Amino acid sequence: SQQGEEDPQALSIQEGENATMNCSYKTSINNLQWYRQNSGRGLVHLILIRSNEREKHSGRLRVTLDTSKKSSSLLITASRAADTASYFCATGDTGRRALTFGSGTRLQVQP
Amino acid sequence: DVKVTQSSRYLVKRTGEKVFLECVQDMDHENMFWYRQDPGLGLRLIYFSYDVKMKEKGDIPEGYSVSREKKERFSLILESASTNQTSMYLCASRPPASGANVLTFGAGSRLTVL
C-alpha cells in the first residue's frame, strides 16, 4: 500500500535557493521520517518527527508535520549542488513494524 | 556505524532462473526488511523478519520467499525469476523496539531479468 505521496515529483532549483518538498499520507502515524537517496544507491535517514511534534530542525533541514491535514513538508535551505538526490517520506505506525514509503521527489540543484 | 551489505550490486539473470539476493548487517539488529523500488512507485515492502527464522509478508510477497537462518543475514529468493521482477532491491535493518523505527539501508541490488 502506498502511504505517502510526495509533491512535487521533480524539482529543479539554483544553488543557494530553498527547496520545499511535501508529503501527504493516509492513516494515523507515530512518526514521519525523511530519507535521501543518491542516484543508484541506498536510502539514508535524514530526520524524524514524532506525531506530537509540529516542527523539527537539523542543520539546513526543517521538517513540519500537520497531523490534522496528514501532511509534512521538508525544507532544505541554501541548497547546494551536493543536495541533488531523491527525497522520500516514510511513515511508521503502531500496527505495522515496517515503514511505508512514498514515491519520492527528485531534486536537482543547479550549480 | 551500522553497516548493511548487499553482496551483489548488479545482477543479470534469465527468466526462470532461481535468484538469491543476500543481505548482511553487522549491528545485531533483530529486524530486517526487503523492499523493491520502481520508478514512480517508491519503495514497496516485500518481506520482513523480526527474528531468526521469523518472517512476515509485506505488501508484495508474490513470487518471492526469504530466509533468515542467522541473525545477521536475510536472503531474498526469487524461485523462478520473471521479467516483471526487474527492479532495484533494497535491504534494510533496525534494532528492536527502538521507539523510532529508523532504518539503515544497504546500497541496493539492481536486478535485470531477461
Distance CA A14, CA B52 (A): 48
In the prediction, which pLDDT does A27 show?
86
Write out chain A residues lying below 8 Å of B50, CB-based: 97
In the prediction, which pLDDT does A95 show?
65
pLDDT tens figures, B18-69: 999 999 999 888 899 999 999 888 899 999 999 998 999 999 999 999 999 9
Place of cell 538469491: B20
In the prediction, which pLDDT does B11 show?
96
In the prediction, which pLDDT does A40 show?
84
- Say if the Cβ atoms of A43 and B31 lie within 8 Å: no
Write out chain A residues lying below 8 Å of B92, CB-based: 42-43
In the prediction, which pLDDT does B26 show?
94
* Angle made by CA atoms B104, B9, B88, in degrees to the nearest 5: 70
pLDDT band at A96 (very low <50, low <70, confident <90, very high): low
pLDDT band at A92 (very low <50, low <70, confident <90, very high): confident
Write out chain A residues lying below 8 Å of B4, CB-based: 42
Q: Name the β-bridge partners of B24.
A: B5, B73
CB pairs under 8 A between A and B: 63
Average confidence score pLDDT of chain B:
93
Q: Does B99 touch chain A (CB under 8 A)?
A: no
Judged against a pLDDT cut of 60, whether residue A3 lies above it is answered with no
Judged against a pLDDT cut of 80, whether residue A4 lies above it is answered with no
Which chain B residue is nearest to residue A36, measuring alpha carbons? B105
- Say if the Cβ atoms of B110 and A103 lie within 8 Å: no
- Residues B15, B83 contacting (CB under 8 angstroms): yes
Distance CA A98, CA B94 (A): 10
Distances in whole angstroms, Cα of residue B93 to Cα of each of A45, A48, A96, B51, B72 = 12, 16, 15, 11, 10
In the prediction, which pLDDT does A33 show?
95
Write out chain A residues lying below 8 Å of B38, CB-based: none
- Which among A2, A9, A48 is the nearest to B100, CB-wise? A48
In the prediction, which pLDDT does A2 show?
44
In the prediction, which pLDDT does B93 show?
94
- Would you tell me which residues 69-88 of chain A have a C-beta closer than 8 angstroms to some C-beta of chain B? 88
| Nearest of A93, A85, A56 to residue A72 by alpha carbon | A56
To the nearest whole angstrom, how far is the Cα of B105 from the nearest Cα of chain A? Answer: 6
- Residues A90, B31 contacting (CB under 8 angstroms): no
Across A13-17, A21-25, B8-12, B101-105, least confident range: B101-105
In the prediction, which pLDDT does A1 show?
39
Greater confidence, B27 or B79? B79
